[in-house]
């Protein structure tokens, strides 16, 4: 098929699809007594955006690229607006101004002081910008040190609190006897013990896999490390399966939107 012929077919398909969409919209306008223009325009915009992004599945095209940039621009603008509005103004500037106002009207009350003191983090934060000056660069290091110190402290607490219970959780009995779980039947105990053995074997073998300080020549190291690799492969397979399911859900939701909400079929 020649290039011109292909273009003619594509144009014909486009015209037909557009006609069908217009006919569908007229159908809704005529049959729906609660036809809402505002809502319909919103849905049309959402549908065009969705389909523009899905055109990438056919091939890279300017239509897709344009909408990708619209999305990125919108998200960046929204991010900036949110930071300025919700954080800088609401959490810092407005309480600070209020603090100064209270100080001048009612005197230095504890509430006024807490507002006035907000000027300190403001100044410390602004010191980041000394990074652009060779002469005053050292001042930015003060802010850097405060941020780093606070971040490390909080991070340490978070990591410690998250991981410690998991480490203690790995101390599982290989045989769940009657003393450990008195109410369980023998079959349940065997099953629980089997689970624990798989769990502990997995933990140890995967840890062995990540010992890179000595060569894996001896079977005591090599065997568990290889088993650990298998465990990791199974885990990665589970990750992939879950990833597929998440992406699939997004597709199903979009198809539902296009069919049920935009076209209002079915």
Partner 1 sequence: MSATRANMFWQRVLYCDPRILYALFACLVVLCEFWRPRMPVPIPPAARKLYDLVERLPQDKLVIIDCELAASIRAECEGQFVAVVRHLFRRNLPFAIMMWTTQPEGIKFGTDIAMKLAQENGKEYGRDFVIWNAITPPPAGGAMLQAFSKDIPGMIQNDIFGTPLAKIGCMRGVQDISDISLIFKVSYVWNRAEVPWIGFVQSVYGTPYAAGCVAIQSSDAYPYVDAGQISGLLAGAAGAAAYERLLNAPGIGTATVSVQSFAALFVFVAIVCGNIAMLMLRATSEPEAAA
Position among 3, 37, 38, 58 found at the interface with partner 1 (CB under 8 A)? 58
Our finding on whether 20 is near partner 1 (CB under 8 A) is: no
Distance CA 195, CA 29 (A): 61
Contacting partner 1 within 162-191 (CB under 8 A): 162, 165-166, 168-169
Judged by beta carbon, residue 151 or residue 223, the one nearer partner 1 is: 151
Q: Are 225 and 216 in contact (CB under 8 A)?
A: yes
Our finding on whether 78 is near partner 1 (CB under 8 A) is: yes
**Interface region with partner 1, contact rule CB under 8 A, candidates 26-34, 37-45, 103-111, 154-162:** 154-162
Our finding on whether 245 is near partner 1 (CB under 8 A) is: yes
Furthest-apart CA atoms within the chain: distance in Å: 86
Our finding on whether 238 is near partner 1 (CB under 8 A) is: yes
Shortest Å, Cβ 135 to partner 1: 28
Position among 63, 104, 129, 244 found at the interface with partner 1 (CB under 8 A)? 244
Our finding on whether 12 is near partner 1 (CB under 8 A) is: no
Our finding on whether 57 is near partner 1 (CB under 8 A) is: yes
Our finding on whether 65 is near partner 1 (CB under 8 A) is: no
Number of residues that bind partner 1 (CB under 8 A): 44
Distance CA 207, CA 170 (A): 13
Our finding on whether 266 is near partner 1 (CB under 8 A) is: yes
Question: 3-state SS of the chain?
Answer: CCHHHHHHHHHHHHHHHHHHHHHHHHHHHHHCCCCCHHHHHHHHHHHHHHHHHHHHHCCCCHHHHHHHHHHHHHHHHHHHHHHHHHHHHHHHHHHHHHHHHHHHHHCCCHHHHHHHCCHHHHHHHHHHHHHHCCCCHHHHHHHHHHHHHHHHHHHHHHHHHHHHHHHHHCCCCCCCCCCCCCCCCHHHHHHHHHHHHHHHHHHHHHHHHCCCCCCCCCHHHHHHHHHHHHHHHHHHHHHHHHHHHHHHHHHHHHHHHHHHHHCCCC
Our finding on whether 87 is near partner 1 (CB under 8 A) is: yes
Our finding on whether 77 is near partner 1 (CB under 8 A) is: no
Our finding on whether 233 is near partner 1 (CB under 8 A) is: no
Judged by beta carbon, residue 149 or residue 223, the one nearer partner 1 is: 149
Our finding on whether 91 is near partner 1 (CB under 8 A) is: yes
**Contacts with partner 1, residue ranges (CB under 8 A):** 57-58, 78-79, 82-83, 86-87, 91, 150-151, 154-155, 157-162, 165-166, 168-169, 235, 238-239, 242-246, 248-256, 259-260, 265-266
């Amino acid at each position: 098929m020649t290039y011109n012929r292909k273009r003619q077919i594509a144009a014909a398909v486009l015209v037909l699809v557009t006609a069908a969409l217009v006919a569908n919209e007229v159908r809704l306008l005529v049959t729906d007594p609660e036809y809402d223009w505002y809502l319909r325009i919103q849905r049309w915009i959402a549908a065009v955006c969705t389909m523009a992004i899905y055109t990438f599945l056919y091939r890279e095209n300017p239509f897709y690229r344009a909408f990708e940039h619209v999305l990125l621009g919108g998200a960046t603008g929204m991010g900036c607006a949110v930071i300025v509005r919700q954080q800088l103004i609401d959490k810092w500037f407005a309480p600070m101004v209020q603090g100064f106002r209270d100080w001048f009207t009612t005197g230095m009350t504890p509430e006024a002081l807490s507002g006035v003191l907000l000027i300190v983090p403001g100044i410390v934060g602004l010191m980041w910008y000394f990074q652009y000056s060779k002469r005053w660069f050292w001042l930015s290091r003060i802010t850097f040190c405060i941020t780093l110190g606070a971040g490390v402290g909080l991070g340490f607490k978070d990591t410690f609190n998250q991981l410690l219970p998991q480490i203690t959780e790995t101390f599982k009995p290989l045989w769940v006897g009657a003393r450990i779980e008195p109410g369980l039947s023998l079959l349940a105990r065997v099953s629980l013990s089997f689970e624990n053995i798989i769990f502990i074997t997995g933990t140890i073998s995967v840890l062995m896999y990540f010992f890179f300080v000595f060569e894996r020549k001896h079977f005591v190291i090599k065997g568990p490390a290889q088993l650990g690799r298998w465990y990791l492969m199974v885990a990665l397979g589970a990750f992939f399966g879950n990833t597929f399911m998440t992406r699939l859900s997004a597709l199903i939701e979009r198809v539902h939107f296009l069919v049920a909400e935009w076209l209002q079929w079915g």
